[in-house]
Amino acid sequence: MKRRIIGFIVLLALLSSARGQTSYSYRYWYDDDLSTLQEGSANGETTIELDIGTLAKGSIHALHLQGLDARNKWGTVRTQYFFLSKERDTQGVTARYWYDYEETTAHTVPTANGLIELDISCLDNGAHVIHYHMFNAAGEASPVRTAYFFLWKCDRESTTARYWFDNDEKTAQVAPTLNGLINLDISHMEIGIHAVHYQTFNASGEASPVQTAYFYMNELQHALLSCQVWIDDKEDEAQTFPLTDDDIVIEAEDLSIGMHDLHVILLDNKGQWLAERTAAFEVKAPTVSITLSSPLETFSCEKDLDFSGVSGLKAYTAAGFHRLSGNVWMMRVDDVPAGEGLLLTGEPGTYEVPVLQSHSFYANLLVGTPEATVIAQTADGYDNYLLSTRDDEPGFFLADEDSTLAAGKAYLRIPSRETAGARRLKISFIDEPTDIKVLIDSNEHKDAIYNIAGQRIPAPQRGVSIIHKGDGTTKKVVFK
């Protein structure tokens, strides 16, 4: 992938000014690898597209840039060092870095796609460490990252180096050189004086003599860095994490919804303070995803839910049952406690329902199933009904013996003495409490037919039937 590196605008400006014109040709390559050589030309532009897709992240690199002079000859090579961050968010606008443990010398520079331009002219030969963190446009800081490297003088034409520490040549490693730089991992070394032995190789494979340099590993360089983290003013609840390439995960389930402050302190292995940063973040209300595959489904959840702001989705509890009409009254609710059995209506699709502490209690005939449950037809004096659609009409139907209902669903449970063995119950939706009286009145004015045993029947049967009229009168009818 090609990415714009705005940080190298100064080098291009120098090339154009050297020629005294705005149109110029250039070529560039990375580190000491001529296989990365690229050429181009510009007309009045001071930025170019550079391909950094093959470069190792978390490492120092060198960009070598050459311009074509007025005699049509390649001019002096100009070199700029940079660090390619491991940060996932490459949209940071600035970075702050410092070498070794001299944070007072920290530099703040612009970044581009995770690149940090470095000035290493102040460093002596030997082992060094670079610390850096990134800042986005809102001023939010990433954790402080650390990388080790070794600086020595070597032949500019060298393309690779072979090195080992102390007298253990069996551990020798081969690595590409970066115009005198190589990234080293020295965090495993003990405190004290050490020697690094190295030799370089040119493109023909010819080796330089082995050279030796000494350096002292002090306590700070050897330290396993860590960070201390707390939220808002709860410093007494601070947690400590080692600094690794893995993300640091902080449990924040108890935080209130809204803005909070995250405090981070970088520490050495003695607990000594190295750096500090505070960043603001927002906690949003968590949600539960509910997917409807049909316009009418039962549902239950182990979390309190708030349906009040969910467009297109309605939740109902079974508030009551009317014996004469066989209607189950479904009352619309918004504030739903965990585990409550519900009937949901809406267009098929996925809805995000906020998790919010409930303060309600319902007398509810729907029973939620937190796990897959076997539903008996009749148990403990109750008849159990499952939601189904038959003859294009939805309703609650008497469960078959030992039916299994999936987790996160609900079934209807009504005392057997109230259902009179009915195999199907109808559904009546009530969106407002005032709708209950209208529903009762309309049901009471319908005729009801009973047999001589007092059981309700759908139509008169042979023998004696009792008809209870909607106006309150009763009469016996004999059918032969």
Q: Which of 221, 180, 216 is nearest to 198 (CA)?
A: 180
- Condensed to tens digits (0 to 9), the pLDDT of residues 242-274 reads 765 455 677 666 778 788 888 888 776 666 666
Q: Which of 393, 449, 450, 402 is nearest to 424 (CA)?
A: 393
Which stretch of 139-148, 305-314, 464-473 has the lowest confidence by average pLDDT?
464-473
Q: Which residue has the higher pLDDT, 414 or 73?
A: 414
Residue-range domain boundaries for the chain: 2-137, 226-283, 287-444, 447-480
By CB neighbour count within 10 A (0-12 exposed, 13-18 middle, 19+ buried), where does 242 fall?
exposed
- pLDDT exceeds 90 at position 89: no
- Condensed to tens digits (0 to 9), the pLDDT of residues 189-216 reads 776 677 788 887 877 778 877 877 766 6
Q: Which residue has the higher pLDDT, 56 or 343?
A: 343
For 171, 235, 237, 408, the CA distances from 240, given in Å and listed in that order, are 34, 11, 10, 38
Residue type, position 137, single letter: A
pLDDT, mean of residues 109-118: 73
Instruction: Please report where in the chains the tokens 């606008």 appear, as a residue.
Output: 93
Give the pLDDT score at 305.
95
Q: Which of 368, 311, 312 is nearest to 336 (CA)?
A: 368
pLDDT, mean of residues 149-170: 71
Give the pLDDT score at 91.
55
Residue 74 carries which DSSP code? Answer: B
- pLDDT exceeds 90 at position 409: yes
Q: What is the mean pLDDT of the chain?
A: 76
Separation of CA 111 from chain center: 25
Give the pLDDT score at 95.
83
Long-range contacts formed by 263-266: CB under 8 A, 24+ apart: 263/229, 263/230, 263/231, 263/235, 263/238, 264/141, 264/143, 264/144, 264/227, 264/228, 264/229, 265/227, 265/228, 265/229, 266/131, 266/144, 266/225, 266/226, 266/227
Give the pLDDT score at 372.
93
Q: What is the 3-state secondary structure (H, E, C) of 274-312?
A: EEEEEEEEEECCCEEEEEECCCEEEECCCCCEECCCCCC
Secondary structure element (H or E) that encloses residue 220, with its range: helix 219-222
Residue 89, both tokens: 């968010």
Give the pLDDT score at 435.
44
Q: Which of 427, 441, 206 is nearest to 331 (CA)?
A: 427
DSSP secondary structure letters along 2-53 = EEE-GGGHHHHHHHHHHHTSSEEEEEEEETTEEEEEEEEEEES-S--EEE-T
- pLDDT exceeds 70 at position 313: yes
- Condensed to tens digits (0 to 9), the pLDDT of residues 56-74 reads 776 777 787 777 766 677 7
Q: Which of 330, 303, 349, 340 is nearest to 433 (CA)?
A: 330
CB 61 within 8 A of CB 102: no
Q: pTM of this prediction?
A: 0.42
